[in-house]
C-alpha cells in the first residue's frame, strides 16, 4: 500500500504563514525604482505565483508523491500550472542562486525508481519520505530515501554549475549506502547527468532532469 505520510501537508501554505512568502518581495515594493506600473506588475506576479503554488499543492496532495496518477483533467491542470510557474520564475540563473542550497523535502516526482521505493518500502519497512541536502558552494548533493526505524538509502553526488546555462547544474554520483535497521552496506554509485531548475523561490523548487523526469520539492531550511 502507498505510505501513510502525504507529501504536501500544507507545505506551501505553511511557508506563507511562516513569513517567508506572506508578503510581496522587497523588489516589488521599490516603487521609486520602477515607478507605479512596475510596482503593480511585481505585485501581480507575486500574487499569481502564490495562487499557482496553492493549486500545485492541492494537486500534489491528491497524488501521493506521484504514485496515484492524475485523471485527464488534473493532468492538464498540473501541466498548465507547471508551465505558468516556470514562466513566472522569480530567480534569474537559479542554479547559481544561493536559494538552490538547503534542505529540501520531496513533494512529487515522475522518477519511477524513487516512486517504487516510496510505495513498496524497504524489506518490510514503510517509507517516511525523501530528502535532498544541497550545498552548491561546496559542490555536494545528497539524496536520501527515508524508512522507518532509522533506515535509508543514501546517494551522494558531486555538483557543479553548468558553464553555459545558469538554470542547469551537472552531477555525478560518488557514494551510495543502504541502511536497514542496524545493518549498513555500501553500494556501487553509478550515474551522472544534469538537472534544470524550471522554478526556484524561497519555498519550492521545480526541476527536470536529463531523463525528462520532473521533481517538485519544498524547502525545509
Residue ranges in the chain modelled with pLDDT below 50:
2, 4-5, 13-33
DSSP 136-194: TTTTEEEEEEEETTTEEEEEEEEEEE-SS-TTEEEEEEEEEEEEETTEEEE-----EEE
Residue keyed to cell 523588489 = 27
Write the pLDDT tens digit of every residue in 32-42: 445 666 555 66
The per-residue pLDDT for 33 is 47
The per-residue pLDDT for 19 is 40
The per-residue pLDDT for 5 is 47
Put simply, whether the predicted model's pTM sits higher than 0.75 gets the answer yes
Interatomic CA distance for residues 95 and 137, integer angstroms: 11
Which residues are CB-contacts of 146 (< 8 A; sequence separation ≥ 6)? Answer: 127, 128, 129, 130, 131, 152
Amino acid at each position: 500500500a502507498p505510505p501513510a505520510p502525504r507529501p504536501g501537508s500544507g507545505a506551501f501554505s505553511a511557508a506563507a504563514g511562516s513569513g517567508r512568502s506572506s508578503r510581496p518581495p522587497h523588489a516589488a515594493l521599490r516603487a521609486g525604482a520602477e515607478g507605479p506600473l512596475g510596482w503593480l506588475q511585481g505585485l501581480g506576479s507575486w500574487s499569481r505565483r502564490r495562487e499557482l503554488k496553492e493549486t500545485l499543492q492541492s494537486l500534489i496532495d491528491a497524488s501521493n508523491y506521484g504514485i496515484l496518477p492524475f485523471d485527464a483533467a488534473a493532468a492538464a491542470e498540473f501541466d498548465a500550472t507547471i508551465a505558468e510557474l516556470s514562466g513566472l520564475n522569480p530567480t534569474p540563473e537559479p542554479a547559481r542562486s544561493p536559494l538552490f542550497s538547503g534542505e529540501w523535502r520531496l513533494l512529487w516526482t515522475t522518477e519511477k525508481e524513487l516512486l517504487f521505493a516510496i510505495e513498496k518500502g524497504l524489506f518490510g519497512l514503510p517509507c517516511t519520505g525523501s530528502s535532498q541536502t544541497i550545498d552548491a558552494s561546496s559542490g555536494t548533493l545528497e539524496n536520501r530515501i527515508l524508512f522507518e526505524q532509522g533506515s535509508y538509502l543514501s546517494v551522494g553526488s558531486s555538483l557543479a554549475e553548468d558553464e553555459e546555462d545558469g538554470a542547469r547544474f551537472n552531477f555525478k554520483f560518488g557514494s551510495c549506502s543502504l541502511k536497514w535497521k542496524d545493518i549498513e552496506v555500501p553500494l556501487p554509485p553509478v550515474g551522472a547527468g544534469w538537472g534544470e531548475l524550471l522554478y526556484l523561490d524561497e519555498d519550492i523548487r521545480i526541476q527536470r532532469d536529463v531523463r525528462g523526469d520532473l521533481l517538485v520539492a519544498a524547502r525545509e531550511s
